[in-house]
Chain A
Amino acid sequence: MIHETIGSVGHLLVIISFVTALLATFSYFKATQAADDVAAKDWVKLARAIFIIHLIAVIGVASSLFVIIYNHYFEYHYAFSHSSKALPMAFMISCYWEGQEGSFLLWIFWQAILGVILMVKNPKWEAPVMTVFALVQTFLTSMILGVILPYIDLKIGSSPFLLLREAQPDLPVWSLQPNFIPKDGRGLNPLLQNYWMVIHPPTLFLGFALTLVPFAYLIAGLWKNKLTEWIKPALPWALFGAGILGIGIMMGAYWAYETLNFGGYWNWDPVENASFVPWLVLIGAIHTMIAYKHSSAALKTSIILVISTFILVLYSTFLNRSGILGNASVHSFTDLGLSGQLLIYMLTFLFVAIFFAVKRWKQLPVDEKELGIYSREFWIFIGASILGLSAFQLIFTTSIPVYNKIAEAFGIVSNIALPADQVEHYSKIQIWIFLAIAALSAVGQYIWWGKLKESTSFKPLTNSALVATLLTVLFVNLGKVYTVSYILLLWTSLFSVIANSNILIFLIRQRFNLVGGAMAHVGLAVMLIGILFSSGYSKVVSLNRSGFAISNKVEQFTKDDNKENKENLPLWLGQGAQMQDYLVTYKGRMIELRGKPGYYPRKDFEVIEGDFHAVALRNVEKDGQMVAKKGDTLTVEPENTYYELEFKNAEGKSVSLYPRWQVNPKMGTAISPDVKHAWGHDIYTYVSLDPRLAAEAGEEKQWSQTVNSTVSIGDTLFLNDFVAVLQDVSRVNSVEDMTLGPNDAAVKAQFQVLGKNFQQFSLAPLFIIKGGMVAMPAFESEETGIKIKFTAINPKTQQFSFAVNTTQQDLIIIKALEKPYINLVWVGSILIFMGLFVAMYRRMQQPKAA
Chain B
Amino acid sequence: MKKTHIIGLILIAVAIGIILITTGDASTYVGFDEAERIAQNNPNQKVHVVGVLKKDAQGKIVGMHFDPAVDANRLEFIVQDSLGRENQVIYPAPKPQDFERSEKIVLVGSMQSNKVFYCDKILLKCPSKYQEGKISADSTATYEAKKQL
Interchain CB contact under 8 A, A688 and B134: no
Interchain CB contact under 8 A, A668 and B98: yes
Interchain CB contact under 8 A, B69 and A811: yes
Q: Is B83 an interface residue (CB 8 A)?
A: no
Interface string of A145-173 (1 = CB under 8 A from B): 00000000000000000001001100111
- A538-570, CB < 8 A from B: 544, 549-553, 556-557, 560, 562, 564-570
Which residues in A have their C-beta under 8 angstroms from that of B94? 568, 688-689, 813
**Of all chain A residues, which has the CB nearest B141?**
A173
Interface string of A209-251 (1 = CB under 8 A from B): 0000000000000000000000000000000000000000000
Interchain CB contact under 8 A, B101 and A668: yes
Interchain CB contact under 8 A, A420 and B74: no
Interchain CB contact under 8 A, A415 and B28: yes
Q: How far is the CA of A81 from the CA of B98 in the complex (A)?
A: 22
Query: Interface extent on B, as a size class?
Result: 35 or more
Q: Are A389 and B11 also in contact (CB < 8 A) when A420-B120, A813-B94 are?
A: yes
Interchain CB contact under 8 A, A180 and B128: no
Partner of A416, one of B28, B71, B128, B134: B28
Partner of A417, one of B29, B74, B98, B124: B29
Interchain CB contact under 8 A, A389 and B15: yes
Q: How far is the CA of A458 from the CA of B39 in the complex (A)?
A: 52
- B1-46, CB < 8 A from A: 2-4, 7, 11, 14-15, 18-19, 21-22, 25-30, 46
Which residues in A have their C-beta under 8 angstroms from that of B73? 544, 549, 564-568
Which residues in B have their C-beta under 8 angstroms from that of A557? 71, 74
Which residues in B have their C-beta under 8 angstroms from that of A381? 4, 7
Q: Shortest beta-carbon distance, A785 to chain B, in Å?
A: 11
Which residues in B have their C-beta under 8 angstroms from that of A418? 26-27
Which residues in B have their C-beta under 8 angstroms from that of A180? 140
**Of all chain A residues, which has the CB nearest B130?**
A334
Interchain CB contact under 8 A, B129 and A385: no
Which residues in B have their C-beta under 8 angstroms from that of A385? 7, 11
**Of all chain A residues, which has the CB nearest B45?**
A420
Q: How far is the CA of A566 from the CA of B101 in the complex (A)?
A: 26
Chain B binding surface SS class: mixed
**Of all chain A residues, which has the CB nearest B15?**
A392
Q: Which of A52-60, A393-401, A829-837 contacts B (4 or more CB under 8 A)?
A: A393-401
**Of all chain B residues, which has the CB nearest A336?**
B132
**Of all chain A residues, which has the CB nearest B134?**
A168
Q: Is B57 an interface residue (CB 8 A)?
A: no
Q: How far is the CA of A568 from the CA of B124 in the complex (A)?
A: 20
Interchain CB contact under 8 A, B133 and A396: no
**Of all chain A residues, which has the CB nearest B97?**
A669
Which residues in A have their C-beta under 8 angstroms from that of B120? 420-421, 564
Which residues in B have their C-beta under 8 angstroms from that of A167? 133
Q: Is B54 an interface residue (CB 8 A)?
A: no
Query: Interface extent on A, as a size class?
Result: 35 or more
Interchain CB contact under 8 A, A668 and B97: yes
Interface string of A798-813 (1 = CB under 8 A from B): 0000000000100101
Q: How far is the CA of A415 from the CA of B135 in the complex (A)?
A: 34
Which residues in B have their C-beta under 8 angstroms from that of A370? 2-4
Q: How far is the CA of A551 from the CA of B15 in the complex (A)?
A: 52
Q: How far is the CA of A183 from the CA of B143 in the complex (A)?
A: 8
Q: Are A396 and B27 also in contact (CB < 8 A) when A334-B130, A420-B121, A668-B129 are?
A: no
Q: Shortest beta-carbon distance, A561 to chain B, in Å?
A: 11
Interchain CB contact under 8 A, B135 and A168: yes
Interchain CB contact under 8 A, B95 and A694: yes
**Of all chain A residues, which has the CB nearest B90?**
A560
Which residues in B have their C-beta under 8 angstroms from that of A811? 68-69
Q: Is A478 an interface residue (CB 8 A)?
A: no
Q: Is A182 an interface residue (CB 8 A)?
A: yes
Which residues in B have their C-beta under 8 angstroms from that of A665? 128
Which residues in B have their C-beta under 8 angstroms from that of A808? 69
Q: Is A671 an interface residue (CB 8 A)?
A: yes
> 15 A-B Cβ contacts within 8 A?
A80-B135, A172-B137, A416-B28, A417-B28, A418-B27, A553-B71, A556-B74, A557-B71, A560-B92, A564-B92, A565-B74, A568-B94, A669-B97, A689-B94, A694-B95
Which are the 4 A-B pairs with shortest beta-carbon distances?
A81-B133, A420-B46, A669-B97, A668-B98
Residues of A within 8 A of B (CB): 77, 80-82, 164, 167-168, 171-173, 180, 182-184, 186, 297, 327, 330, 334, 370-371, 373, 378, 381-382, 385, 388-389, 392-393, 396-397, 400, 415-421, 425, 429, 544, 549-553, 556-557, 560, 562, 564-570, 610, 661, 665-671, 688-689, 691, 694, 808, 811, 813
Known interface pairs A378-B3, A421-B120; 6 further A-B residue pairs with C-beta atoms within 8 A, sorted by A's residue number? A173-B140, A182-B140, A183-B147, A334-B132, A389-B14, A557-B74
